[in-house]
Amino acid sequence: MNMTRLRVCEEADMRLRHLKARTGLTPNILCRLGFALSLKDPTPPNPADYPEDGPREINRFTLTGRWGSFFVALLKERCARDGFGADDYEDQFRAHINRGVLQLYKQVHSLEDLDRLVNIVR
């Protein structure tokens, strides 16, 4: 996967701003949590549902940190399970991030909600 920057959809950008206000966590951390939450959903996300129309663009290293290879491995495993190939990795990564942020927004209203959610995702 050669993606260096990820642009989230406008709705996910708005939700990231609200989640940051609710929790104090930075958007990159929230996107990481959203990615994990989206991977737990058994259905594959549709990249067409998440247009790259938002103003927020996140550097991939900022997003994944030193765990970049771990995120790629998780994505490859999930894509293989869903029947996607290497050509789909970037679209699926972006879709999982967007879907996860939107799911996270629905479930997290405070830091206490994150504690509950982390125990569910494990």
| Tally of structural domains, the chain | 1
**What span, in angstroms and rounded, lies between the C-alpha atoms of 11 and 25?**
18
Start-end of H helices in 2-88? 10-23, 27-40, 60-64, 68-82
Question: What single-letter DSSP state applies at residue 87?
Answer: G
Residue pLDDT, tens place only, 22-72: 999 999 999 999 999 999 999 999 999 999 998 989 998 999 989 999 999
Residue pLDDT, tens place only, 75-115: 999 999 999 999 999 999 999 999 999 999 999 988 888 88
Q: Which domain holds residue 44?
A: 5-121
Q: What is the value of pTM for the model shown?
A: 0.92
**What span, in angstroms and rounded, lies between the C-alpha atoms of 85 and 57?**
25
For residue 46, give the CATH number of its domain: 1.10.1220.160
